[in-house]
Amino acid sequence: MTAPNPYQPASDLLAGRVVLVTGAGDGLGRAAARAYAKHGASVILLGRTVSKLESVYDEILADGGPQPAITPLDLARATSKEYDGLGAAIDKEFGKLDGILHSAAELGTLTPLELYEPELWTRVMQVNFNAAYVITRLCIDLLKRSSDASVIFSSSDVARHARAYWGAYAAAGGALERLMETWADELENNTHIRFNSLNPGAVATGLRARAYPGEVPDQHPRPEEVMAPYLYLMGPDSRGTTGRAFNAR
């Protein structure tokens, strides 16, 4: 399914909303955090590297957006106590949550399954899949307090149709698609929370460069150029749409 194209979001599309973005220090997460803030959201920036989060924080303020919050968390090593602390901090500071964009991702390595290192497999599954489940689960009560909440799981071509050598990255992505569908089916009729996945396609990010080192860097759009579907799915214009697998273009 493709998001509306062209889509022109209202300037105040997300005014008054609180949105958590994982992987907010780089790439698509960084661009989405800035885009959400530009359209009025108070953004919670979650990532591993404090300096990167601080840079996004400064950019949001320079853009004139609402003051964001910074939440450093290493998803590969986070403990139950740290996850619980995240939920408690959001509850204390904001009292609700209107959206989550799961953008944090670990590429792993491109190698045959029989040669994949188990430790690396576990790390990729932890960052790309397990953390998304745990964060969503601990935030469900916060999302239920919203009159219109949206959860977006980041997807990819290999998450929808796996290919040789993509290993844990493809496996985690496929699992996320099923997780999205399960959440959507369970909560469609008794909450105002919608769950969808979004495949941005080929975008000029650091992860893309590591996966395809031979590509010309500027042959794909920059993250800032593909934000329309991220805004559409996070905002009220997609109200009532849940359990769908979207493509950005």
Looking at the annotation, which residues are catalytic?
169
How many angstroms separate the CA atoms of 154 and 208, rounded? 14
10: which 2 tokens?
């209202």
Question: 């994949």: which residue's tokens?
Answer: 116
Residue 120 near residue 108 (C-beta atoms within 8 A): yes
Tally the residues of the chain: 249
Q: What is the separation of C-alpha 48 from the centre of its chain, rounded to a whole number of angstroms?
A: 14
Q: Which residues pair with 72 in a beta bridge?
A: 47
